[in-house]
Amino acid sequence: MVAPPQLISVLLHLDKPEPYFDFEPGFTNATVFELIFSHIEGRTVYRAGDLSNVPAGMFKEVRIPHAKYKTLSVRQYLTTDTAAQIEETRTAAKTYDELPSVGLSKIFVIFTYSNHLGVQKTVRVSLSGDLRLR
């Protein structure tokens, strides 16, 4: 079992030729095995629609030993139109609740591990909630 992930930080890069934002979910390995990051599945949601690009892990290999905590850097590329909408909404926001947000509930982080018999197993962890883009 992996404890529910915690979101640590968000870095926006909306003015780049290929705009994106990075976010870092943190995971605690509550299994007795070492977890190895495999891949990310699903889509990020913005304004009730899936973003066109699939989020990607920005690391080569991540291992999380038993009872340890690690963060993963995840990059979400945006179209220039979506980046412009996010920036416009951010600029106009007067309160935290007015900031643009993306939904993470359709994203799954996949880990693998080998059990005590050497059989490879998979753990699928759902990210949840909304991520405010400040």
Which domain, by its residues, includes 47?
6-132
Report the C-alpha gap between 18 and 103 in whole angstroms: 21
Instruction: Specify the number of domains making up the chain.
Output: 1
Report the pLDDT value the prediction gives residue 89, as an integer from 0 to 100. 96
Report the C-alpha gap between 65 and 52 in whole angstroms: 34
Q: Specify whether the CB–CB gap between 34 and 66 falls below 8 A.
A: yes
54 assigned to some structural domain: yes
pTM of the model: 0.87
pLDDT band at 109 (very low <50, low <70, confident <90, very high): very high
1 assigned to some structural domain: no
34 assigned to some structural domain: yes
76 assigned to some structural domain: yes
DSSP string, the chain: -BPPPEEEEEEEETTSSS-EEEEEEEEEB-SSS-EEEEEEEE--EETTEE-SSPPEE--S--EE-TT-EEE--EEEE--HHHHHHHHHHHHH--SGGGS-EEE-TTEEEEEEEE-TTS-EEEEEEE--SEEE--
Residue 56 belongs to a domain with what CATH number? Answer: 2.60.40
Q: Which of 118, 117, 86 is nearest to 99 (CA)?
A: 86
Report the pLDDT value the prediction gives residue 123, as an integer from 0 to 100. 93
Q: Which residue has the tokens 């509930």?
A: 105
pLDDT digits (tens, 9 = 90+) for 78-95: 999 999 999 999 999 999
pLDDT digits (tens, 9 = 90+) for 27-79: 999 999 999 999 999 999 999 888 988 898 887 789 999 999 999 999 999 99
Phi/psi of residue 77, each to 5°?
-75, 150
The average confidence (pLDDT) of the chain is: 91
Tokens encoding 17: 């030729």
